[in-house]
Structure 1
Amino acid sequence: MKFNLQLLIAFFGSLFCFIIMSYLVQAEHLVVFDRLVIDAVQGFEADGLTVAMKFFTYIGSLKFIVILTLPIFLFLFYVLRHRLEILVFLSVVYITPILNRLLKLYFHRARPDINRLIEIGGYSFPSGHAMNAFSCYSILAFLLWRHVPSRLGRVTVIILSAFMILAIGLSRVYLGVHYPSDIIGGFLASGLWVAAVIWFFQRYKEKLEIPKRAH
């Protein structure tokens, strides 16, 4: 029950923060913040770092994540034999791009035009890469965390997941295709979606366990 309460707090906290962020973006109150962060991040521009950032932006793309789902599906199905967890993973990963598309169509925010290192079309807020990365790597961390017995192993899973999410988000700012507020908005939007899915998953698991306890 404590974990379910934490999930509800995460959901409504993410929702509240996303609403605030959306207002600030639409009211153009984050122009200075976005520019300061962009200038600071792009101030580290170097050939080697650009290659690394392009790599991180690729592994946060929908194309790569769709490819990644195949080995994860096989691992969950044949190794862990947890079919319900497959549905949890797929529902998070494949519905996230749909949510992102709807949000972008609603907000219609143009992408930044400051020292772009790659070219890309479409709207800017919230970042699709940020949403894809947060959804994919956070739900993957949750599913793996449940099967890692050691404390060190669990901490490692969380750290690696957080690193991937942050690196992908940072790469979009570095490459000049997103404002920092786009990235934060993407993390918040995916955060509320992931929290909602995990909450329903936990509730369903608890209902399945009640008859077992009765016997």
Structure 2
Amino acid sequence: MISNRYRNGIMMISLGIFIVITFLSLQHHMVTFDRRLMHWLTEVTPGYVSQLVSALTILGSGEVIVILTFIIFLALMLYKRFEYALMLLMVSIGGIVLNFLLKILFQRERPGDMTVIEMFGFSLEVASYSFPSGHTMRSVLLISFLILLSLRHAGGKVMKVVLTLMLLCLMLLIAISRILVDMHFPTDILAAVSISVFWFFACLGVTERLMPQKR
């Protein structure tokens, strides 16, 4: 696995990227980049591929993420992997709170119609802002956690590589889908990925200090 030195480096780089994107976005220096990339993605993506990828956006919805997180948490508790269960709670719940606070702080409007926060059919009268993408953050955090489990506990090296690549592709497709359905700007996605990486490794470091990993 990655040493603490490289983890800290990844965390600082990710946080730096997030700060730069945030600053440039607030100063409206990324408008041209957003528009050109959105136009390019729309132009180069065939209609049937766009529909297929757009359908994947549901995998990053709050309902799906909550259900999957609950199932994984129960499985970890059943197998007495309490260190992973604790980390999953920190990653998921902390990530949701962090995303909500960032959205409220920056209050960036979406490229399409503004929506409100919804969960399992219940609607909160709180605007669902665009920056950073909640779908992307939830997906990146949960998939990163699954990648960690795969790298540490999957069978052989080939299996680890296959699972990691599949999960990374799924992460990428969900992120792109948010642009194709006109719900987020590309900078919303980049900001979400960078802050998610920072938060994931921060949670990993805290968890390993509180509860050393059981091999």
Which bin holds the TM-score, normalised by the shorter protein?
0.7 to 0.9
Aligned: 1:108 with 2:107? yes
Q: Which residue of 1 aligns with 2:205?
A: 199
Instruction: Using the TM superposition, give the Cα deviation of residue 180 of structure 1 relative to its aligned residue in structure 2, in angstroms.
Output: 0.3
The residue identity in structure 2 corresponding to 1:63 is E
Which residue in the other structure is 2:72 paired with?
A: 72
Q: Which amino acid aligns with 1:42?
A: T
- Give yes or no for contact 2:178–2:184 (8 Å, CA) kept in 1: yes
C-alpha displacement of 1:205:
4.8
1:195 CA displacement: 0.9
SS at match of 2:3: helix
Q: 1:148 is matched by which residue type in structure 2?
A: A
Distance in 2, Cα, partners of 1:179 & 1:34: 6
- The answer as to 2:151 corresponding to 1:145 is yes
What RMSD over aligned residues (CA atoms) do the two structures have, in Å? 2.0
Instruction: Count residues with an aligned counterpart.
Output: 202
Instruction: Say if 1:2 and 1:140 are closer, same or farther in 2 by CA, change over 3 A.
Output: closer
Contact 1:14/1:188 (8 A) holds in 2 = yes
Contact persistence 1:135–1:194 (CA under 8 A)? yes
SS at match of 2:71: helix
AA matched with 2:187: S
**2:101 and 2:204 mapped to 1: Cα distance?**
22
Kindly indicate whether the alpha-carbon contact (under 8 Å) linking 1:126 and 1:185 is maintained by their aligned counterparts in 2.
yes
TM-score, normalised on structure 2?
Answer: 0.86
2:135 matched residue in structure 1: 129
- Which structure 1 residue ranges, 5 or more long, are not aligned? 210-215
Please tell me the residue identity of whatever aligns with 1:58: I
Unaligned runs of 5+ in 2: 117-127
In 2, are the aligned partners of 1:11 and 1:196 still within 8 Å (CA)? yes
Q: Alpha-carbon deviation of 1:24?
A: 0.7
Measured in 2, the distance between the counterparts of 1:60 and 1:2 equals 27
Q: 1:204 & 1:94 partners in 2: Cα distance?
A: 18
Q: Post-superposition, which runs of at least 4 consecutive aligned residues in structure 1 deviate over 4 A?
A: none
- The structure whose Rg is larger is 1
Q: How far does residue 2 in structure 1 lie from its aligned partner after superposition?
A: 6.1
1-structure distance, mates of 2:160, 2:208? 19
Provide the C-alpha distance between the structure 2 equivalents of 1:205 and 1:89, rounded to a whole number of angstroms.
13
TM-score (norm 1): 0.86
2:123 aligns with none
SS of 1:124 mapped into structure 2: coil
Structure-2 residue corresponding to 1:16 = 16
Which amino acid in structure 2 is aligned with residue 87 of structure 1?
L
